Chain A
Amino acid sequence: QKEVEQDPGPLSVPEGAIVSLNCTYSNSAFQYFMWYRQYSRKGPELLMYTYSSGNKEDGRFTAQVDKSSKYISLFIRDSQPSDSATYLCAMRLNSGAGSYQLTFGKGTKLSVIP
């Protein structure tokens, strides 16, 4: 079982739709959870950063973490064509040498159609 599983898509939705992106993980020691957005031929940029379980909202974006199920989600409301990108989930440990490293999912490619 891979440490982080993420459906690569592609996912295509009409403009204005609600988008749900998900990752599952196997290592219960992960404590920090991130979502990055990566436009084509660009570096990833941080969208959301959460610690432990719960919800975090920032504008049209909501991140959810369910540590009991080892499942994280990113919701995008009122999706726009400018949201078309690859979305990477990432997570890290709270302590130890491995805590300097982020473990990334493979990314989900999203297209928002006008």
Chain B
Amino acid sequence: NAGVTQTPKFRILKIGQSMTLQCAQDMNHNYMYWYRQDPGMGLKLIYYSVGAGITDKGEVPNGYNVSRSTTEDFPLRLELAAPSQTSVYFCASSYSWERTGELFFGEGSRLTVL
């Protein structure tokens, strides 16, 4: 099993451009999450999904959008990229609400906005 797979691993964007970070998991987990990690800061939740067709905002959702059309995939869309979105983005999944603390993370997508 591959676990949680994120693409791309690295990307440089210009201010105002848009892009989608891809995330796929093969563990049949219902719950999926997007976190961002900034230097010297704890991971912050951007969006999460409790199943196909159901998404909700986390702590820092502004400037992002998500969709969840299948159990496996949870893409994160950045619209009108800004330097403040320079960060490392991690997709994660968990089996259930009870096991929300047992997150399986991808290897991250490093995004730089210039």
Contact = CB atoms under 8 A, between A and B. Distances in A.
Interface residues of B, number: 26
Nearest to B49: A100
Nearest to A43: B105
A74 interface: no
Interface residues of A, number: 26
A42 interface: yes
B97 A49 contact: no
Nearest to B45: A101
Interface in A75-114: 88, 90, 92, 97, 99-107
A43 B59 CA distance: 20
Nearest to A45: B105
Contacts of A105: 42
Contacts of A36: 103
Interface of B: 4, 31, 33, 40-45, 48, 50, 56, 58-59, 90, 92, 97, 100-108
Interface in A1-51: 4, 6, 8, 32, 34, 36, 41-46, 49
Nearest to B41: A106
A88 B43 contact: yes
Nearest to B44: A104
Contacts of B50: 100
- Counting chain B CB atoms within 10 Å of each CB, the highest count among A6, A43, A45 belongs to A43
B111 to A, nearest CB: 14
A99 B45 CA distance: 12
Nearest to A93: B100
